């Protein structure tokens, strides 16, 4: 059975257009496309697309994300994160699924696993810093 492609309702996509700079914290319950620049944190209940000319300088939290532009900050993605070949990421990534195209740049740490662990790791609760004993070494 063929998988049908659904076209998103364009009226429910928030667009930060090329030449636009948004400063501050943004929250959205629908999808967001960044062609411009975001200086601050972006929290989205849907999908975020950062176009090749898009820039985010802050934390990005989303259900899913496709990044082709630049991001300086942490990424927390509940489901699938796609780093396109033109992506330039400087920060830590926490996601359930990660796809990286050849040519993508990434500097930071990446953790994959359950969402609740992802949120704790990004919130810095210190639970990941506890030392665990090493068995078999003196």
Q: Rounded distance, CA 91 to CA 125, Å?
A: 18
Residue 113 has a pLDDT of 83
Residue 135 pLDDT greater than 70, yes or no: no
End-to-end CA distance of the chain: 59
Given this model, what pLDDT does residue 48 score? 98
pLDDT digits (tens, 9 = 90+) for 24-67: 999 999 999 999 999 999 999 999 999 999 999 999 999 999 99
DSSP code of residue 48: E
């Amino acid at each position: 059975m063929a998988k049908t492609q659904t076209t998103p309702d364009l009226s429910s996509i928030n667009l930060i257009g090329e030449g636009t700079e948004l400063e501050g914290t943004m929250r959205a319950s629908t999808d967001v496309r960044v062609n411009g620049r975001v200086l601050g944190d972006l929290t989205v209940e849907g999908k975020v697309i950062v176009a090749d000319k898009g820039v985010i300088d802050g934390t990005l939290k989303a259900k899913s994300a496709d990044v082709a532009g630049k991001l300086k900050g942490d990424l927390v993605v509940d489901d699938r994160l796609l780093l396109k070949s033109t992506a330039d990421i400087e920060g830590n990534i926490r996601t359930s699924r990660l796809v990286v195209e050849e040519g993508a740049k990434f500097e930071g740490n990446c953790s994959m696993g359950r969402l609740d662990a992802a949120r704790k790791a990004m919130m810095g609760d210190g639970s990941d810093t506890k030392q665990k004993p090493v068995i078999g070494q003196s």
